[in-house]
Structure 1
Amino acid sequence: MNEIVNDVLPILHTLLSGFVATLIFYWLADAIKPTQFERVIQALFCTGLVKLSVDGLEWMFLYLGRWYSIGHWTAETGNIWSIAVAVSIGLALAFASQQDALYRFARRLKLTSKASIGEWRYAFSRNLDRWVVLHMRDGRRLTGYPDVWPSDPQCGHFLMGSPAWLVDGDLVEVQGIAQLLVANADVQWIEFLALETETNDE
């Protein structure tokens, strides 16, 4: 048993930075969690990135140390920088995923047509300043501003600000209600309303 622990601990220590990076990414990003095997592969990849980054930092600090030294580079220093770099990589990947930065760049190069957050989240993130009309399955229509929308197109709830019903083309405001929680299961489809500037231009 001790031999297994002695063999496993160095491997876990080596992969720790990669697991930290992927853990932070999946905590923050709206991404589907892959299987355990795929997460181990991702952790291996992130571990390689962290190792290259820390080796680069070590070389830079040792080079700058010729003129100004703030201390010695030790194994503990390397471990601290590994965790710091892993956290930075996890945060950067989560930010890039949320902003669709990498996929937007790839779309400009005609390498893909996909978005990093899926069509559902992409549609809402591209229309943050627009009001919507929810077409209910029973035929009713509700308009308002989606303060919160579900991350999954199959479940969750919409939190509609300034809700109003559309009845025969007329707007019927919901008196005394600031927000309305609507189950996504009751919604058949969604319209994103044009901005006033777009309507005036037309």
Structure 2
Amino acid sequence: MSKPDKKSRDAEKVARRRQSLTQAAITVIARKGLPGVTLADVAREAGCGYGLVSFHFETKDRLLLAALDALVEEYRAAWHARSDAHDDAAAKLAALIDLDLGSDVTDDRHIAVWTAFWAETSRNADYRARFSELNRAYLARLEPLISALAQKEPPAADYRLVAGGLSAIFDGLWIESQVGDGQGKTDWTRARAICWAYLRAFFPKSFGTETSQRP
């Protein structure tokens, strides 16, 4: 196998550096929120000089958008991997619930950053576009699964409404995790149980008493 040429090696080095800087930005955003982030903060977190951050991203706005894009891609890859690992619609939904509520890509740190970006969507068209596209893609993932369950257990509501409701519950639980009860620790087991109770109301055979202890 031939070795990568210098151009390829340089491109990989740049990609790794940008990734490390966006991850540092995510850590800083989780700690300080969007308004408090500076390029100097990110440089300190990444253990590099200010000039290197400025070289790769030029402005704070570009760095923040890159951080959001990194979150989106990490999340999308995780949901594909989790749901694609199963054939059964109920198992796929269970995997998505586990992903959305307490996994390594939706822990308190990540959700703090998602919430920070959410808060700016009314003022930032780029953030709003990212969230709109992600929401459409997520519903496109949920609706066929809910539809498959509806073939076996026709729910009282349209399957698209059921999917939209589940998506809204996820959003609400994410926000609740940031305000919570002031204890500083999210009860993700309870959060997952809420989603199971919602699905059980529509699909008792798939999410009924025999699986009620799953969360």
How high is the TM-score relative to the length of structure 1? 0.28
Q: Which has the larger radius of gyration?
A: 1
Using the size of structure 2 for normalisation, the TM-score is 0.27
Name whichever structure is richer in strand by fraction: 1
Which of the two has greater helix per residue? 2
